[in-house]
Structure formats: structure tokens, C-alpha cells
Amino acid sequence: MKILVVHEVNYLKKIIYEFQILPEILSMLGHDVTVIDYDDSWKTAGNGDRSGLRTRIHVSVHRAYAGASVTVRRPGMIRLPVLSRVSAAITSGIETYRFLRSQSPDAILLYGLPTVGVQTYLAAQKFGVPVIFRSIDVLNQLVPWRALVPPTRLMERYIYNRVNAVATVTLHLKKHILSYGVPESRVRVLPSGVDTTMFSPGPRNTAVLEKWGIGAADPVILFMGTIYTFSGLDRVFSEFPRVLARHPAAKLLIVGCGDDEERLKTLAAQLGLTRNVIFGGLQSYADLPGIIRSCDVCINPFELNGITNDILPTKLFQYLACGKPVVATELPGTLPFLTGEQHGMIYCPLESFADCIADLLDDSQRRERLGRSGIQTTTSKYEWTRIAEQMISLIQESR
């Protein structure tokens, strides 16, 4: 099939997550995949072209898999505050219309809404192309200003009730979609997944650790992913001396980048943790399995808010598939899929995080038991190829 994927983030530079993984798996399954994206990183990209409105086409793109081949079409925009989104809404609509007219795709997989959603749907209606909306967040919670929440809710109601199907990543997101009056028959839960061939158990790689000054025998705790203000890492920092009291050589390795990175670096210095908290920066997707394998405990200390309540972070599956125990806060959207220790997870509140981590570092047998449970869970239920095939089935049903 010929599939068009539309979103409003940067496919080429965004930290790799489902938006790149799923289209690339679909391409490796033999489908012709094109992505229309939006350069949401333009403010930090250093691009001097403030008003380039021409679409730029990148062919044979792959971010997650060397064997994948995706075409990325990026509509131009005016690279100025506010005007960037307004202009992109226009150019994205035009580019989608042109693509549908000339290429006649079999379906659209739509991720974005405020900037690209309505015009994508209207163009699809014009050419009779089915649209499947992929819901991975409560979108009205992601807008930067509170004044945009009501209009985003209106757009959610409009789109969810008109697309051919909505595929949510969690049961909680399904409830959110149904709250807009969408018939339940048009909403399906398809959780995130993991490539269990790539993310799999393996030996500790001391060379990986040495580049960050981590000793071969040092206990290593890993946080991986975008560093949001709600990541909970500041709370982990404040309690980390309790871990060090029991494991003085312990290292907290943070792999990724994000809006809160500089503040957290300053906080780590203020707390005297610069020897034990290491910011590893953004790493290539291919290197992530080796990094996970080289750690002892993985964490996801997200604070609960309107964004995190309903999500199912892909990194949890990546941790588990590598056989690592995970200490995490309870996210309501995650619990139905990863309920606890039988799935390799230990849930605890942020105020108890340090003690949970230290207890796990004390008990190698428990870590191994949790690791085996995580491997069994991911290989039996959450292999990405299986999820991709279910998405294809949903697309075929919608045609």
C-alpha cells in the first residue's frame, strides 16, 4: 500500500520514537511510505532562511532502521514566532492536497492536529482517501498557551468524529476520544511496541561506560529520553544522596536532551552531584540497546499531569526488552499494559524512588527475576512488527 503519514514535528531531528519507528517498519514490510512533517525545531536549527516557502523533499530516509526507506516532504514556512505555525498550516495543507492529487495514496496516518489536522482531513475528503488518526497524547494538553486549549478541543472533537478510525496507544486515551462522542466501534487500542531483535539482552559494555567516566563495577541507573520539565529528575536528584549512602559509586546516567536539561545540570552542580550524575546527551538510536544493557536499573520518574496520565512511553518496552528492571511512577495509561513485577516493573511514588533504586541495587536476584519477566512480556505481546501489522489491518478495514 501507499501510505501518507502527517505530523507536526521534525522527522529528521526529533528524538526517535513511534513517529519514526512505525513508518519505517511499514516501509520494511513492503509499503510505500511518505511523511509530511513540520520543522518544530527551527528556532534552534540556525537556519538563516526566514521565509523559504518551497517544499523540501528528502528521499530514502531512515532514522530507526538502516533497511528502511521513507520519503520526507517538508513544506516551507515563515520562520518567525507565531507566523511559523500559521504559515505551516497553510503550506502543509497545500502540500497534502498536491500529494493526494498526484500520488493517490491508499490511506493517511495522521498524528498531528492543531497545525496540520483539519486541512489534512479536508484534503482527504476531497480525494476519497481514508484517514486513521493515531492518538498518542491528549493534544489539548500539549499546546504552549492556555488560550489555545479550547480551540484545540474543538478541533479534537471535529477530527475524531470524522476520521475513519482512531487508534489510541492506551485505554485512557480511548476514553478521552470517546468523551467527544465518537462511536466506540471506530476507536481501537494499539499500544506502543519494541523491536525485540534490536532491543534484547546482552553483556555489559564497559567501553560504552568508560566514555562517560563510569567504572566497570559502578552501579548504573539509566534515564533515557526527552528531558521534560515533568520528567521528575529534579526530585530524583534531591533524593539521590540516599542512594549514594548505600552505594557510593552509583551513577545516574541521563541519555537524551530537552527543555529542562540546562536547569537540571545547574541543579546537579548545586547539589554536589556532578561526579555521580552524568548527562550523556542525545545518542544514536543504534547505540541505545548497548547503553541499556550496560546499566543495572532503568527509571521513568514522570510526574503525573494532564500529559503523562494517559501515555505509554516506548522507552519502558525498550528497557524491559533488554532485560532490565524498571522503577517508575504509576502512570494510569501505562498500568493496564505493564501492571507490576510480573511484567518487570516496580512502581513507587517519587518520594520513595531513591529507596526503591537502592533496594534493587542490593538484590541482584530480584533484578534478574524482573529482567526475565520484562523479556517475556515484550517478546510475547509488544513486538513492533506485530503492532504494525495490526495497524495495516485497521487501514484495510477503513478503505
Q: How far apart are CA 256 and CA 248, in angstroms?
A: 24
Burial 289-313 (b: 16+ CB within 10 A, else e): bbbbbbbbbbbbbbbeeebbbbbbb
pLDDT given for residue 327 in this prediction: 99
pLDDT given for residue 43 in this prediction: 81
- Identify the residue whose cell numbers are 533515557: 224
pLDDT given for residue 52 in this prediction: 82
pLDDT given for residue 49 in this prediction: 52
C-beta of residue 345 within 8 angstroms of C-beta of residue 339: yes
Q: How far, in Å, are 34, 211, 220, 237, 262 from residue 273 at the CA level? A: 45, 18, 14, 8, 14
C-beta of residue 377 within 8 angstroms of C-beta of residue 348: no
Using DSSP's 3-state secondary structure scheme, residue 316 falls into: helix
Closest to 70 (Cα-Cα) out of 88, 56, 57: 57
pLDDT given for residue 41 in this prediction: 86
For the chain, where do the domains classified as CATH 3.40.50.2000 start and end? 2-193+384-398, 206-381
The CA-CA-CA angle for residues 361, 204, 357, to 5°, reads 20
* Size (the chain), residues: 399
Q: Which residues contact 326 (CB under 8 A, 6 or more apart)?
A: 297, 298, 299, 300, 316, 319, 320, 344, 345, 346, 370, 374
- Strand extents, DSSP E, 51-130: 56-61, 70-74, 107-110
Q: What is the pLDDT along the chain (399 residues), one digit of tens a residue?
A: 999 999 999 999 999 999 999 999 999 999 999 999 999 988 876 554 555 889 999 999 999 999 999 999 999 999 999 899 999 999 999 999 999 999 999 999 999 999 999 999 999 999 999 999 999 999 999 888 889 999 999 999 999 999 999 999 999 999 999 999 999 999 999 999 999 999 999 999 999 999 999 999 999 999 999 999 999 999 999 999 999 999 999 999 999 999 999 999 999 999 999 999 999 999 999 999 999 999 999 999 999 999 999 999 999 999 999 999 999 999 999 999 999 999 999 999 999 999 999 999 999 999 999 999 999 999 999 999 999 999 999 999 998
Phi, psi of 108 (to 5 degrees): -115, 130
- Grid coordinates in use for 54? 518551497
pLDDT given for residue 50 in this prediction: 55
- Strand extents, DSSP E, 233-296: 251-255, 277-281
Q: What is the pTM of this model?
A: 0.90
The listed CATH number (3.40.630.30, 3.40.50.620, 3.40.50.2000, 3.40.50.300) that belongs to domain 206-381:
3.40.50.2000
Superfamily for the 2-193+384-398 domain? Glycogen Phosphorylase B; (3.40.50.2000)
Closest to 199 (Cα-Cα) out of 308, 331, 314: 314
C-beta of residue 161 within 8 angstroms of C-beta of residue 108: no
Q: Which residues contact 270 (CB under 8 A, 6 or more apart)?
A: none
The CA-CA-CA angle for residues 68, 69, 72, to 5°, reads 130
pLDDT given for residue 271 in this prediction: 98
